[in-house]
Amino acid sequence: MSFLQQAFAPIEAIAERVGLDPFVLARLRHPERVLDVHFPLVRDDGTKEILRGYRVQWSSARGPYKGGIRFHPQVDMDEVGALAFLMALKCAVVGIPYGGGKGGVAIHPKQYSDAEQERVIRGYAKAIADGIGPTKDIPAPDVATNPRLMDAFASAYAEVIGHAEPAVVTGKTLAAGGSEGRGRATAQGGFYVLQQVLEARHMDPESRTAVVQGFGNAGQTMAEILFHHGFSITAVSDSKGGIRHQAGLDIPALVAYKETHGSVIGFPGAEPISQEELLATPCGVLVPAALERQITVENAEQIRAQMILELANGPTTAEADVMLAKQGIPVIPDILANSGGVAVSFFEWEQNRVGEHWTAAEVDGRLHALLKEATRDVLATAEELGMTYREAAYAVALRRIGQAMK
Ligand code: GLU
């Protein structure tokens, strides 16, 4: 199955359960529009390259397209399409007035200097400029992109249209109109969702150990938040491999170590482990926070976590998802668990549109309230229809998208 087929797999059965109009499902099966662009890049040494980028605009039923831009060598139409579709569901679950979109540039970010990456995002922004806008399609950061690159995106867009329009992109730095709390929003939101689910399941706080796959923005911040709340983080990994320390890793020291060494690998006192060993490490909560399709039929049976919190998009394949359900391991799905990022993107967009700047406490209060409601809706639907959390989140989203389409 392709990633898009994976993301779509649960949908038919759920659509039937919630009595979704077959026409809504037919409409959701394909993207509304796809931008497939090529643009030039001048490297630092003066050589030139042609790069390929995508922007998939999946659904605008609930509002303008919304979703991040990733830099990754495996970026292609299937990946960006699946992620755009998931964004449409995510925005519906968390109840913000957006549809779903996603973008990407097929490059290996580590092979490009910071200045080159800035020129990449500028070239990409100009290439898609006529297809986006603050009430049309609003990009944001995703894998390997960051606030500095979002500022460059906004600046390139302003050059094209002839005036500043900060609401065209979210996840900017504070200086360029970004929101307080956006950087940590994905992890912070995930933590709020986790807390509520743990409460609802009366889960034993003694089992509060966690394993985190991925140490980028979402994974690292999540490890810090969990550590701060007394969780013992026994294993983490990044793209270079994993490390484990049964007694619990000193997360602040690990963050400082990664800053100087560029990876978690070699952290003193921890044993090196593979990604497979990381996933098989017994723990209370397993947090996949890297890329899609990490938990598969090959490793699902080895998982010894009491619960999975999907901070990455699409980390569990459809087949593995069924296996986990049979094994009795609840999965808090991506479209709920990582929706805090796009929620604070929405707050940033709102602030830009009215020219306000909200305090960190205000942003956090709104994030908490929004996610409380979304989690409550998913838990109630799971209970009402006897579904897994993923099925329930899809059900909530499909009902809302269906109503909007009507
Ligand atoms: N890339 C993030 C996601 O997958 C955030 C998207 C946004 O803020 O628009 O949810």
> For the domain bounded by 185-337, which CATH number is listed?
3.40.50.720
Residue among 65, 102, 186, 339 whose CB has most ligand 1 atoms within 8 A, to mutate: 186
CB count in 10 Å sphere of residue 103: 30
Structure confidence by residue, pLDDT tens digits, 334-386 = 999 999 999 999 999 999 999 999 999 999 999 999 999 999 999 999 999 99
Provide the Cα torsion 60, 64, 68, 72; round to 10°. Answer: 50
Global pTM value = 0.97
Distance CA 332, CA 311 (A): 9
CA 350 to ligand 1 centroid distance, Å: 16
pLDDT of residue 206: 64
Distance CA 337, CA 95 (A): 14
**Residue with structure tokens 């990946």?**
79
Distance CA 394, CA 88 (A): 10
pLDDT of residue 394: 98
Catalytic residue, chosen from 48, 66, 90, 102, is 102
CA 272 to ligand 1 centroid distance, Å: 31
Residue 203 binned pLDDT confidence (cut-offs 50, 70, 90): confident
User: Residue 46 class from Cβ within 10 Å (0-12 exposed, 13-18 middle, 19+ buried)?
Assistant: exposed
Tell me if domain 31-176 and domain 185-337 are identical in fold. yes
Query: Is 57 in contact with 101 (CB distance < 8 Å)?
Result: yes
| Residue of minimum CA distance from atom 8 in ligand 1 | 342
Active site residue 90: no
Choose the CATH number for 31-176 among 2.60.40.10, 3.40.50.10860, 3.40.50.300, 3.30.70.580. Answer: 3.40.50.10860
Three-class SS of residue 107?
A: coil
CA 141 to ligand 1 centroid distance, Å: 6
Sequence ranges of the domains in the chain? 31-176, 185-337
Q: What is the mean pLDDT of residues 11-37?
A: 96
Three-class SS of residue 60?
A: coil
Distance CA 182, CA 160 (A): 26
Q: What is the mean pLDDT of residues 294-310?
A: 97
Distance CA 8, CA 6 (A): 5
Residue 205 binned pLDDT confidence (cut-offs 50, 70, 90): low
Contacts of 178 (CB under 8 A, 6+ apart): 147, 150, 170, 171, 172, 348
